[in-house]
Structures are given as C-alpha cells and as structure tokens.
Amino acid sequence: MDHRQDKKTFHGVNHETHPSNHERMIENFKKRFLISTALTFPILLLSETIQGFFEYELIFEGSQYLVLSISAFIYFYGGYPFLKGLVSEFKKRLLGMMTLIGLAISVAFIYSVYATFSQTGMDFFWELSTLIDIMLLGHWLEMKSVLGASRALEEIARLMPREAHLLTEAGEIRDVDVNELKPGNVVIIKPGEKIPADGIVVEGITSVNESMLTGESKPVEKTRGSKVIAASINEEGSIKVKIEKSGKDTYLAQMVELVKKAQESRSRAQDIADRSAFYLTIIAIFVGFTTFLLWVIAGKSLSFAIERMATVMVITCPHALGLAIPLVVAVSTAISAKNGFIVRNRSAFERAKDLEVVVFDKTGTLTRGEFGVTDILILDKKVFNDETEALSISASLESFSEHPISKAIVLKAKETEISILRVDGFQAIPGKGLRGNINGNEYKIVSPGFLLEIGKTVKDEKIEKLAAQGKTIVYVLREDKIGAAIALADVIREESKKAISELKSMGIKCMMITGDNRHTAAWVASELGLDNYYAEVLPYEKAIHIKELKSNGFKVAMAGDGINDAQALVEADLGIAIGAGTDVAIESADVVLVKNNPQDVVKLIKISKSTYRKMVQNLIWATGYNIVAIPLAAGVLYNQGVILNPAVSAIIMSLSTIIVAVNSRGMKVS
C-alpha cells in the first residue's frame, strides 16, 4: 500500500471523513422529501377534496394551473428517484418496487394533467404529492436503517490510533504516523494507549482489552511472546511490541474487508426475496390494470378507475420485501463481527441452522495444544505426604528447564499457588530427566525409561489406566525411592465441555477427528462425552470422513485450525476456522472464528438460527399484508363504504417497511 497516495487510510483502514455514497444518497432523499413536503401544503390548501372535508373555500382564477405547476415539480423532482428506477428496472428486465411506484405516480400525474386541461373528471394532485412524500420518507428511513446496521465496522475502524511511539535503533523514542510503521519496528505502548499494529510483545507485562475486536469481555494478559492486535487497548503496564503486520495485512484491516465482502455477498434468502418481488410486481401490474378495466366496465368514472389502479400498485409495492433480507444480513454480519467471527460465505452460514453433526479437530481446538498436568498420584506416603508436597518439589526442579513438560508442571504449581523451593546442585539427566538437592535431600524427576535403566518398575492400576489413555507419565524420586507419579496430556479446554454439552442439548451430534493415537483420542472423547471419534487420521483422510458423514444424509460442519484441516473444511457443509487469531485470511473456511473457543461454534449456530428466523418473519411482514390489502385497494368493499386512496395505501405499505426495519434491528443472540 502506498500511503503517500492515500492520506486518509490508516493501517489499511479507511478513515475517510467525507460523506460516503450511501450517506450522500440519504441526504439526497432527505432533501427531496423536505422540499416536496413543503410544496405539498399549498396543493392541499387548494384541493377541492380537502376544502370540502374541512368546510372552507379557497379558489381563485388560475388556481388549478398553480396546483398543476407545483405538482409537476414534485412529480419530476420528488419522483425522480422512482422514475429513474423504473427505467433502470425495465432495461434490466427485473421489475420491482421502483416499477410499481413509477407507474403509479406516472398514471396519476398524466391523468390529472389531462383532467385539468380538459376540465373533465377530478384530478388527484394532492394524492400524487402526498404519495411521493411518503415514498421519499420511507426510502430515507430505510437507507438510514441500513447505514446504521453497517456502521459497526466504521466504529471499529475509528479505533485505530493515528500515532505510535517508535523506538529507533539509537534507543530514542520518536512519535510517528502509524502509516510509517513497518514489520520489524519496535514501538512502545503506554498504559491507556491503543496498540498501533499487529505484533508480538518483546518486553513488559500488561493486560489488553480486545473486546471490540474479538468479543473477549475480560482483559487478556500479555507477556513476552504474546501476540497483540491493532486497535486493542493497553490497560496496565508499559510494553514494547515488535511489529509483525502493518497496513492491509493487520487483523483489523482484514476483518473490515471480509465483513464488507460478506455484506455484499448474495444470500440464498435474498434470491428468494428478489424472485418474490418480481412476481409480486407482475401480479400488481396485472391486478392494477384488471381493476381499472372492471371499474370502467362497471360504469365508474375514469378518474375513479385510475385511482383504484394506482392504489393497488402502491399498496402491492414490494418495498419492504426489498429491505427484508439485506437489513437482516447487515445486522447479523455486524453482530457476528462484534462476537469475534467473520462470515465469508453467507449461503454456508445460513446452512448452519440445519446442522446435524459438528466434527471438531482435537489439538488446538478441543484441547489447548499444550501439555498440562492432569493427575498426581502418591505412590509412597513415606516419601511424599500429599500431592501438594510432590508438586512443590517437582515444580522447584522443573523451574530450571524450558522443556514443555517442565513448563506444564511449573504452571500447575502457579495455578494452585504452591511455592517454589530453593534447589542446589541442579543437573539435567540428558533425555531422561532432572536432579537436584532440596532441603538436604536429592530429588529426581525421570521418565519410565530411566527407571528401567536402574532396575525399578512400577505396577499400579491407576498408572496403567493413565498410560492407556495416552498420557505422558513422569516419576518423582527421593534418594532413588519412587514417591509420586505425574501424568500430563494435551489439556482439554473447559470451553470444550460447555460447547459439547450445549450442542448436544440442541440435538446436534458432536464428533472429533485427530491424527493423534487412539488411546489419547478415546480419553478426550470420553471426557467430553462425544458421540464418535476418528483417530490416527492423516490430513487428507479427514475430508474422506466428512464426505462419508454427508453421504449418510447428515448436514456436517467441520471446525479446525484451517491449516491441516483445509480439505475437510472445504468438504463440509460449513467450514469453521477456529482460533484464527490475527491470521483471518483462511481461504478454505466459510466462517472464521477469531478466538480459540469452541463455544463460539454454539454462538455461530444460534446467530444463524436467529438470522433465518428474522428473514422468515420479515418475508411474512413484507408480503402477508397483501392478502388483505390488495382486495381493499381494488375496492371490493366499496359498497360497504370502505375505500383506500393512494396516500393511505402508501402509509400502509410504509408501515410494513418500518415493521421490517424495526424487526431486523431487534435481532439478538439467544
């Protein structure tokens, strides 16, 4: 990205301060509405119908031509967007709401001009003017609703800081524009400041608020080696961050781009709505002209017949139908982004409501992808009194090592607030373990292989069971006496248990697919209560298992890390890349989850169901009223004194649009 050519773009996120095309269109409709409405008042005052209703008289020579002139201006100026839309839809052969509105106001205007000059029949300029006013108001409100639903991304984009504290090679701190930052630069972020780019912490400890970006409500602790995301807020300590991604490559920039594409992508429900709008338009035109002919045949005046025809066309206008799906899409996309996941394929996202099976990858998805202590067994009470003593000794020795097993044992001690003791004479036993002196005694932490070398064996049912589960076992010795055993495994996430439980309560089968051994897979499946699992599976074989499930008639989602699961993600009805972090551009996934949290899969399905529910509700609101409205507009109850004019029909039609807008904006995740 050449920042010199785009001064209004910061780190790949557009901060353009001038009105967008959408905002200009809103202002245009607002201006046309206000001017047209102001000019409608003299038309109303000079209307014979209005004068008769309010029992006053205001007629002067040439007043009818004044009304015609003002009405002509409103027709061409206020009605311009609808007339332009009418021409555009005819050219594309996709008749819709603009066709109906354009035809209705054109028929009303042309007939009224004829009636004025021929002095035969009644004009309905006031109906024409109020109809245009109401339609302009409806479109103005509609566009404001859509803009409001889409502004979540703009609000996030505005979070980007403009400046950063760059640490130069000379050790000086220089304030620079964020556009100048490049990968490899080191910046200092002080408490309360926003992080200017994606990077990795190289010095300092702090907590970072990422809620606006990932949906994580609690501040996330960041230490040396932790990744940070641009626009998140540094809440506590001062940290140094090495820039990894800048410009259009940052998570924020990619998220904005993906969500824009998602909002622009067509929905299957949108196709249904468009087809419905087309057929409704054809029906309206047919019914409108049929109504006109029937009233003429029945002996009614030409003006009455035209008014009935115009009323039918207006009230049948699929205005709300055109808004029903796009507004739900805009709202659901914004909600998804706020919850930390991005919809890349709307059709696949809509299929989430029908899912019957969710298949999870194991490592890094259902589990943390790192060692953790799962069990501590006391084998000799003469050596260790309890688990706390055994863990304290073990963690004290392991604190000298960077091995994954060592880190897991030390982390367990920290979590349980067990103190680390002083160790003298620490020594590594290459490939076998560690030794050291604590309080005058020699302790060792060793592998089963070391025990065999010194001629010791352990026979214990619990240890055999742990080993059968695929767990790693290490032994803790004092003066060569075996006192305890510690079992370690890839730790199952607490969120996984909650997610599986919720999915099963929704009637969805939960399965796991992994390249890990059968013993480990069986243990994880048992702990989580999975319906089935596939173990020792090669990456390309994952897609085969997904295909088999689909061939058995199941609607299947695959949740994985998007790398070795790529083929399976593509094969599934819904591919979910989970735990994508800042690497959101995963081409194989339909939905990208930012956080490494399986519960987001549950949330995703709930949003999909809520989205579908709102779409159905909107389609019903947008079309259902026509069952009653069309016959009334045609005049079936005319003999009973019930008659609708074009302005009233426009209000009824606009009410359906408002209901659709309010219903869409009220969408929530249950």
pLDDT higher than 90, residue 359: yes
pLDDT score recorded for residue 525: 93
Q: What are the structure tokens assigned to 33, written together?
A: 């509405």
- Rounded average pLDDT over 463-469: 87
**Pick from 453, 474, 492: which residue ends a domain?**
492
Q: How confident is the model at residue 520 (pLDDT cuts 50, 70, 90)?
A: confident
Task: Between 567 and 183, name the one with better pLDDT.
Answer: 183
Q: Which of 97-106, 244-253, 320-329, 460-469 has the largest mean confidence?
A: 460-469
Q: What is the mean pLDDT of the chain?
A: 82
Same domain, 480 and 538: no
pLDDT score recorded for residue 305: 86
Q: How confident is the model at residue 552 (pLDDT cuts 50, 70, 90)?
A: very high
**Distance between CA atoms of 355 and 199, rounded to whole angstroms?**
37
Q: How confident is the model at residue 11 (pLDDT cuts 50, 70, 90)?
A: very low
- Rounded average pLDDT over 38-53: 85
| CATH number of domain containing 575 | 3.40.50.1000
Same domain, 249 and 278: no
How far is the CA of 414 from the CAs of 386, 417, 597, 664, in angstroms? 17, 5, 23, 48
- 2 occurs within a structural domain: no
Q: pLDDT of 646-662, one tens digit each?
A: 667 767 776 777 788 78
Q: What residues act catalytically?
A: 361
**Pick from 467, 492, 517: which residue ends a domain?**
492
- 58 occurs within a structural domain: yes
Half-sphere exposure in the Cβ direction for 328 (13 Å, CA): 32
Q: What are the structure tokens assigned to 455, written together?
A: 């001629």
- 10 occurs within a structural domain: no
Q: pLDDT of 591-633, one tens digit each?
A: 888 778 899 999 999 998 998 888 888 888 877 777 788 888 8
Report CA dihedral (653, 654, 658, 659) to the nearest 10 degrees.
Answer: -20
Same domain, 472 and 602: no
- 11 occurs within a structural domain: no
Same domain, 281 and 352: no
Same domain, 314 and 237: no
pLDDT score recorded for residue 250: 77
What stretch of H or E contains 463?
A: helix 461-468
**Distance between CA atoms of 247 and 339, rounded to whole angstroms?**
23
- 573 occurs within a structural domain: yes
- Rounded average pLDDT over 119-129: 75
Give the residue from 335, 359, 323, 385 showing the smallest Cα distance to 143. Answer: 323
Same domain, 434 and 521: no
Domains in the chain, number: 4
- 6 occurs within a structural domain: no
Same domain, 487 and 498: no
**Pick from 476, 492, 508: which residue ends a domain?**
492
> 240: Cβ–Cβ under 8 A, 6 or more apart, which residues?
167, 186, 187, 188, 189, 201, 202, 203, 204
pLDDT higher than 70, residue 122: no
Q: What is the pTM of this model?
A: 0.64
Q: What are the structure tokens assigned to 21, written together?
A: 């095309």
The letter for the amino acid at 352 is: A
**Distance between CA atoms of 265 and 344, rounded to whole angstroms?**
9
pLDDT score recorded for residue 346: 76
Same domain, 426 and 505: no
pLDDT higher than 70, residue 256: no
- Rounded average pLDDT over 222-239: 87
> 210: Cβ–Cβ under 8 A, 6 or more apart, which residues?
216, 220, 229, 232
- 437 occurs within a structural domain: yes
Domain containing residue 486: 368-492
- Rounded average pLDDT over 256-285: 65
| CATH number of domain containing 181 | 2.70.150.10
- Rounded average pLDDT over 352-359: 93
Task: Between 660 and 215, name the one with better pLDDT.
Answer: 660
Q: pLDDT of 468-507, one tens digit each?
A: 888 889 999 999 899 999 999 888 888 999 999 999 999 9
Same domain, 31 and 57: yes
pLDDT score recorded for residue 550: 93
pLDDT higher than 90, residue 294: yes
- Rounded average pLDDT over 521-545: 89
Tell me what percent of the residues of the chain surpass a pLDDT of 90: 29
Same domain, 500 and 588: yes
- 288 occurs within a structural domain: yes
Same domain, 27 and 118: yes
Say if strands 206-209 and 220-222 run parallel, antiparallel, or are unpaired.
antiparallel
348-351 long-range CB contacts below 8 Å, 24 or more apart?
Answer: 348/573, 348/574, 348/575, 348/590, 348/591, 349/574, 349/590, 349/591, 349/604, 349/608, 349/611, 350/267, 350/268, 350/269, 350/608, 350/611, 350/612, 351/555, 351/573, 351/574, 351/608
pLDDT score recorded for residue 526: 92
Task: Between 14 and 37, name the one with better pLDDT.
Answer: 37
Q: pLDDT of 311-340, one tens digit each?
A: 787 777 666 666 677 778 777 877 887 787
Q: How confident is the model at residue 218 (pLDDT cuts 50, 70, 90)?
A: low
Same domain, 92 and 129: yes
pLDDT higher than 80, residue 237: yes
| CATH number of domain containing 399 | 3.40.1110.10
pLDDT score recorded for residue 4: 34
- CB neighbours of residue 452 within 10 Å: 10
Task: Between 202 and 219, name the one with better pLDDT.
Answer: 202
Q: pLDDT of 419-436, one tens digit each?
A: 899 999 999 887 788 999
pLDDT higher than 90, residue 277: no
- CB neighbours of residue 550 within 10 Å: 15
Q: pLDDT of 68-87, one tens digit each?
A: 999 999 999 999 998 998 89
pLDDT higher than 90, residue 37: yes
Q: pLDDT of 386-418, one tens digit each?
A: 999 999 999 999 998 888 788 889 999 998 889
**From the CA atom positions of the chain, what is the Rg in Å?**
35
DSSP code per residue over 609-632: HHHHHHHHHHHHHHHHTHHHHHHH
- Rounded average pLDDT over 219-248: 86
Residue with tokens 């130069």, as numbered in its chain: 168
